[in-house]
Amino acid sequence: MERRTRIIYTDSQKAVMWERWKKGESLQQIAQLFDRNHSSVQRILAESGGIKPPHRTRSIRSLTLAEREEISRSIVAGHSMHTIARSIGRSPSTISRELNRNGGVESYRAADADKATWERAHRPKPCKLLQNRPLASMVADKLRQQWSPQQVAGWLKHIHPDDEEFQVSHETIYRTLFIQTRGALKKELTEHLRRTRVMPRSLHHTQKTDNHGKISDAVSISERPAMVEDRAVPGHWEGDLLCGSANSQIATLVERHTRYVMLVKIDRKDTQTVVNALIKHAGKLPQELYKSLTWDRGKELADHKRFTLATDIQVYFCDPRSPWQRGSNENTNGLLRQYFPKGLNLSGYSQAQLNAVARRLNERPRKTLNYETPAQRFYQSVASTG
């Protein structure tokens, strides 16, 4: 096998990598653009933890290339530092430092000095979480409770609105977790994230395929009332099965208005068992808070008409290959993978244990709720129907 020389990627090539990575393409797909192995691309993306670094800009206080060219010409003309400083509106000390850093009067070249200054300025800023250990401790504590970095960042801003010292962005938390040289957060905390892979993937990445069968007399989501779509009133739910090993699964239900979560123990995946469990669970809520259910195209709800007849709850089905049409439920299933990782046998969980997990999720602040919790919003809805 012919050994290829290591490629030095240009800034424009790196920009293409980040653009494709954001769109959800895999490392292998991106690497094919450059005729390289996926590890070659991973090396570049991993330098910033899989998060695109901010665009570099020059400080407004830095000398420009035009000013450096004026300095170079003035040196050749034999002008003094004070004369050069006056000509470009800078202090003599600025001119002196510029010359000392870039070869002195004898060797100064404008283009070389400009390039060298840009490269010297490329150094990482001190990590905020490393400088503020109490803040780092608060972040670590919430991560251990399965809060996402975005939830942690939003919560900190909510409780410390006027103190920037105790605010940190979710990007900073992610970078600190995935770039261990920062040393502010322990690597073990990544185990508490929704996704525990080496680098976070784009939200647009998906591996889901169309493996669902057709359901007779299914009412399309396009027929769902507009008030359900705009989340204006509570009582409209999204549902799906979260699958584990050994053909085990649990039903996940999310209320669209409040993002409140309920989990239902399912012994088998056949439609009779699933529908029976959903009928029983629906009886725990008042009719005002359970008006419709939007489901995927899974055959487990083929007997949807019996469910509607028993509960007076209308069922709507998403279009094929369109999981985004139940976005709240898809997002929640991702959050639940923190508690129920892929490959885990779900059959051993009791309904009480599932309720405890749902409670933990419902007590986590949500950005879309202005960092209130789903439990707060849901119980407000319960009180208003009482």
Q: Are 250 and 266 in contact (CB under 8 A)?
A: yes
Considering only residues 280 and 57, tell me which one the structure prediction assigns the higher pLDDT.
280
Average of per-residue pLDDT across 255-276 = 94
**pLDDT tens sequence across 174-218:** 877 766 555 567 666 766 676 555 565 655 555 544 444 568 888
Residue 4, pLDDT score: 59
- Nearest CA-CA partner of 260 in 295, 281, 235: 235
pLDDT greater than 90 at residue 295: yes
pTM for the model: 0.52
Residue 184, pLDDT score: 60
Residue 209, pLDDT score: 44
Determine the straight-line distance between the first and last CA of the chain, rounded to whole angstroms: 74
- Nearest CA-CA partner of 134 in 111, 104, 165: 165
Residue 275, pLDDT score: 94
**pLDDT tens sequence across 296-345:** 888 899 999 999 999 999 999 998 878 888 989 999 999 999 899 988 99
Considering only residues 39 and 205, tell me which one the structure prediction assigns the higher pLDDT.
39
Residue 20, pLDDT score: 84
Residue 1, pLDDT score: 43
Residue 196, pLDDT score: 54
Quote the CA–CA distance of 203 and 51 in Å, as a whole number.
12
- Nearest CA-CA partner of 51 in 193, 138, 196, 173: 173
Q: Which residues contact 151 (CB under 8 A, 6 or more apart)?
A: 142, 364, 365, 366, 367, 371
Residue 175, pLDDT score: 76
Task: Tell me which range, 50-64, 118-132, 141-155, is most confidently predicted by mean pLDDT.
Answer: 141-155
Quote the CA–CA distance of 51 and 29 in Å, as a whole number.
18
**pLDDT tens sequence across 223-248:** 998 888 888 889 999 999 999 998 89
Residue 154, pLDDT score: 93
Residue 212, pLDDT score: 42
Q: Which residues contact 82 (CB under 8 A, 6 or more apart)?
A: 92
Distances (CA, A) of 149 to 52, 189, 190: 16, 11, 10
- Do the strands 292-295 and 314-317 form a parallel or antiparallel pair, or are they unpaired? parallel
Residue 230, pLDDT score: 86
Q: Which residues contact 277 (CB under 8 A, 6 or more apart)?
A: 251, 264, 265, 266, 267
What is the residue-averaged pLDDT of the chain? 85
